[in-house]
Amino acid sequence: MMGYVEKLIELALAEDIGTGDITTDYLIDPVQTGRAVIRAKESLVLAGVGVAQQVFEMLDPTVRIAALHADGTTLESGTSILEIEGKLRCLLTGERTALNFMQRLSGIATHVRSYVNTMNGLPVRLVDTRKTTPGLRTLEKYAVRMGGAANHRMGLFDGVLIKDNHIAACGGILQAVARIRKHVSHLMKIEVEASNLQEVQDALEAGADVIMLDNMNGDQIREAATLIDGKSLIEVSGRVSQDTIVRLAQSGVNIISVGALTHGARSVDISMDILVSAPERYLPAVA
């Protein structure tokens, strides 16, 4: 994961800096040092501390950073998160990129924690989906875990999920499951999406390990759970909100997947303040 994150940081810095930080490079002496404090500006669940650290370390390996809280910690407004000392140019140039990562990831973790708290310990696994920001999936799914939920498959490569379009292309659930079994390991579970009770019956007959009840109403979900009766795991997806999640969790299902854990989260407010030490010299004035 670290090499992947480093590439993301490089892209983000290149996007922001381009050919150079015009403002900072003309105003700040290369040898001038300073100290920065990053603080929460609202109550939040923290995520992305390590990514923010890497931003500054990639700009200047000599920077000194103290992380005051770990990811997954609930913080109140005004709480200090990171203290950074080093070249002032590094601190100013890296500020926005570091904050962007931390605000986005902490926003997801905070949003997820609100769902987890609403469920209040009910024995159902809450998971995310692949509805993530392109390129940021690894980090966003990490933030989901920091918020207290779990991850569904990371991508198309690490889990079998036979969806409606696969079923249509193969001519039915039985045909699709039979075909996929010829190619995947016996250790890999097969999940099948079902949008009605007939498809649930077909998935059971095909021996699906997990049956996803897609966009079913409450009565349909309870009827499907009775039909399945422990023969496979039951996942519910679609029409899930904080207003409905407790009722769904009490309907006999095992897993609830919510795309809004990632795509519905807003970035939280985190800021950086700089304390400047006296420069040893000043750059000459620009005409």
Identify the active-site residue in 191, 199, 202, 214: 214
Identify the active-site residue in 39, 130, 145, 163: 163
Of the candidates 174, 172, 162, 179, the residue with the CA atom closest to the CA atom of residue 206: 174
The stretches of the chain forming alpha helices (DSSP H) are 2-17, 22-27, 49-59, 88-119, 137-147, 164-170, 173-181, 197-206, 218-228, 245-249, 260-263
The answer to whether 83 is a known catalytic residue is no
The answer to whether 131 is a known catalytic residue is yes
Of the candidates 272, 232, 286, 277, the residue with the CA atom closest to the CA atom of residue 255: 232
The answer to whether 219 is a known catalytic residue is no
Identify the active-site residue in 95, 128, 191, 193: 193
Identify the active-site residue in 35, 39, 131, 153: 131
- In the numeric block, which tokens belong to residue 281? 């010299």
Residues 6+ apart with CB under 8 A from 154: 137, 138, 141
Identify the active-site residue in 35, 96, 125, 145: 96
The answer to whether 57 is a known catalytic residue is no
The answer to whether 209 is a known catalytic residue is no
Please say whether the beta carbons of 60 and 26 come within 8 A. Answer: no
Catalytic residue numbers?
Answer: 96, 131, 163, 193, 214
